Amino acid sequence: MADSSFSEKRFIATMNAYPHAYDAAKVGKSGGDNILYESLGAWNRKKIFSSIEMVSCSSGVRVIPHFMETKNIRLREFRTPAWLYRILPLLFAWKVLAATCLLFRLRPGSETILFSSSDIFPDAVPAFLAKIFFPKIKWVAAFYFFAPSPGSSEWSYRGLAGNLRGLFYFFSQQICYRLIRFRADRVLACNEIDRLRFIRDGYPAERIHSIYGGVRLSEAEAVPEPAEKKLQAVFMARFHPQKGPVEAVEIWRRVVDLIPSAVLGMIGNGPEEESVKKTIAALGLETNIRLFGFRDGADKYAILKSARVFLHPALYETGGMAAAEGMAAGLPVLAFDHPGFDYCYPKGILRIAPIGDIEKMADAVVSLLKHEDRYRSLRAEAQSLAKDWDWESRADEFLSHLRPLLQNR
């Protein structure tokens, strides 16, 4: 049944941050992307909005249908020359210009919610410019993750290219942060820590909400438990320096020293793929680590359920939903001790301090694998917590934050 508060309303999302790849398995998806995919799917099934549109580059238009049902959702495409993907600043400038022009052609009005799906230039700046020229629209900005400051303990970029990428991301996000605080009608953060930072910087508390991700519990439950657990642990995240994929390999080197037959599965892709492969080879772990690439759906849960624990050695994290997907598969989680976990993962997780201590993390993995009573207790906690992360309830929560913007008069 349609929600009468929104039945005559239009929802437009900017989703332009895709790389130059048409293969969904190579592109993957972030937690923030998934919040939008799942929410739009739920709203579309319930006919919440009169129309739903997504503004994206050619890569996005080809990849999005792999992650969500797009029937009755209009994908609005702008083209991007392939050579621009080699020069990040020019790429961002082009995407901002092209997405803005497309938004202007769509002429959003007072009955429109415009949602920028990330805090980077190609998504946030076109929404900001549309808000300036069409002030009656309601701009809702996603801001899911504050980039670590250069020189801080959370800075995890390596090498010249990596550091330049990190600096560009940090300073461009700072610009978007100010634009969002200046003109956005609502903000969605993915954790309480970031929400409080907005408030400290003067953004009205009643206009920013924290929303966590979710899991498809029915999808996880439909995958049977295997007769044998072939993996001692599984890592699942984007292969990005902040998520600790290289650290996962280094942790596993010590685990193998103590349990020679231990096998780690790694699900994901991203800019650190080559570094991960080189580290595996350098440490002689080819028979102890299996790389699965990006996986989704039942295939993902089949791999998760073939493991005993979920290894999550992120160096910089404020929330995230990868651990919740591990919990939905019945896996206790081992992670570094990030303050953001106070709000989203109060149980089902072992938090290791200090952050980045590879030896302590490896010892915790071995200890948990060897102590069956502790393992079963933590596993039961994880399964219990995962029940609070169902996507249908998350989509309803997202919608409740939008309702004050466009109530029928």
- The model's pTM is 0.73
When pLDDT is cut at 50, 70 and 90, the band that residue 157 belongs to is: confident
Q: What is the pLDDT of residues 238-295, one digit of tens each?
A: 898 889 999 999 999 999 999 999 999 999 998 899 999 999 999 999 999 999 998 9
Query: What is the per-residue pLDDT for 77?
Result: 94
Assigned CATH topology for domain 219-388 = Rossmann fold (3.40.50)
**For the chain, what is the mean pLDDT?**
89
* Burial class for 87, CB neighbours closer than 10 Å (0-12, 13-18, 19+): exposed
Which of 3.40.50.300, 3.40.50.2000, 3.30.70.330, 1.10.3720.10 would CATH assign to domain 10-214+391-405?
3.40.50.2000
Q: Does the pLDDT at position 48 exceed 60?
A: yes
Where do the structural domains in the chain lie, given as residue ranges? 10-214+391-405, 219-388
When pLDDT is cut at 50, 70 and 90, the band that residue 409 belongs to is: very low
Q: Lowest-confidence range among 40-54, 194-208, 243-257, 317-331?
A: 317-331
C-alpha dihedral sign at 235, 241, 243, 247 = positive
When pLDDT is cut at 50, 70 and 90, the band that residue 22 belongs to is: low
Q: What is the pLDDT of residues 322-357, one digit of tens each?
A: 898 999 999 999 999 988 888 888 899 999 999 999
Strands (E) located in 242-324: 264-267, 289-293, 307-312
When pLDDT is cut at 50, 70 and 90, the band that residue 408 belongs to is: very low
Strands (E) located in 221-297: 231-236, 264-267, 289-293
Query: What is the per-residue pLDDT for 129?
Result: 97
Query: What is the per-residue pLDDT for 229?
Result: 94
Distance from C-alpha of 287 to C-alpha of 137, rounded to nearest angstrom: 56
Strand pairing class (138-142; 112-116): parallel
* Assigned token pair, 144: 């899911």
Query: What is the per-residue pLDDT for 25?
Result: 53
When pLDDT is cut at 50, 70 and 90, the band that residue 386 belongs to is: confident
Query: What is the per-residue pLDDT for 1?
Result: 46
* Assigned token pair, 336: 């570094």
